Amino acid sequence: MDIETLHNNICNSLTSDPFALHYIENPDLNPQWKLDNNGLLLCDNRIYLPDANDPCLKVLQYKHDHILSGHYSQNKTLQQVQQEYVWPKQALCDSCTKCKRSKAPHHKPYGLLLPLPVLECPWNSISMDFIEQPPPSDGFTAILVIVD
């Protein structure tokens, strides 16, 4: 997708966003918000991305997957996007498979899984564990797990 198509999609989805319509219908309400010549709503000279039709994801994909961007990390991609765009709930997901395959992990390697020993008779070994902070159920917020 090229930048012109992306901006046309953003312009078309502005009409279905009540927040954007508020500033489009009342241009003198706040000097930070204005319409440019192409019909894009700007906030502090950054393009506003409405909630409708998922333009945020398209902009993130455009900036992240562009041939000149180099598949930056989440923070660098988000910084690039925030220089030109603004939207209500700014978030980014780490779903790029190309990045996951090519980026080195920044943590210690995981330990080896060791099998539990096979016991000779029942009740020879009992383990128990608490699972804390699940969503409350009838006022309870912990689960006791017992394994024989």
Yes or no: say if 137 and 123 are a contact pair by the CB < 8 Å rule.
no
Q: What is the mean pLDDT of residues 96-102?
A: 66
Give the residue among 86, 93, 84 at the shortest CA–CA distance from 51.
Answer: 86
pLDDT tens digits, one per residue of 23-79: 888 878 888 888 888 888 888 888 988 877 677 778 877 877 777 666 677 777 778
Q: Smallest Cα–Cα separation from 147: which of 126, 131, 118?
A: 126
Mean pLDDT over 71-91 rounds to: 75
Helix, coil or strand: residue 10: helix
Look at residue 134 in the predicted model and tell me its pLDDT.
86
Does the structure show a pLDDT above 50 at 132? yes
Helix, coil or strand: residue 69? coil
Q: In the chain, what percentage of residues exceed pLDDT 90? A: 1
Res 70: pLDDT = 64
Mutual angle of helices 74-84 and 55-65, in 10-degree steps: 120
Report the pLDDT averaged over residues 122-135. 84
Most confidently modeled of 12-26, 60-74, 82-96?
Answer: 12-26
Percent of the chain's residues with pLDDT above 70: 84
**pLDDT recorded at residue 71:** 66
- Whether residue 93 has pLDDT greater than 70: no
pLDDT at 7 over 80: yes
3-state SS record for 11-59: HHHHHHCHHHHHHHHCCCCCCCEEECCCCCEEECCEEECCCCCCHHHHH
DSSP 65: H
Helix, strand, coil % over all residues of the chain, rounded to 5: 35, 20, 45
Domains of the chain, by residue range, sit at 3-102
Place of tokens 């498979």: 97
* pLDDT higher than threshold 70 for residue 89: no
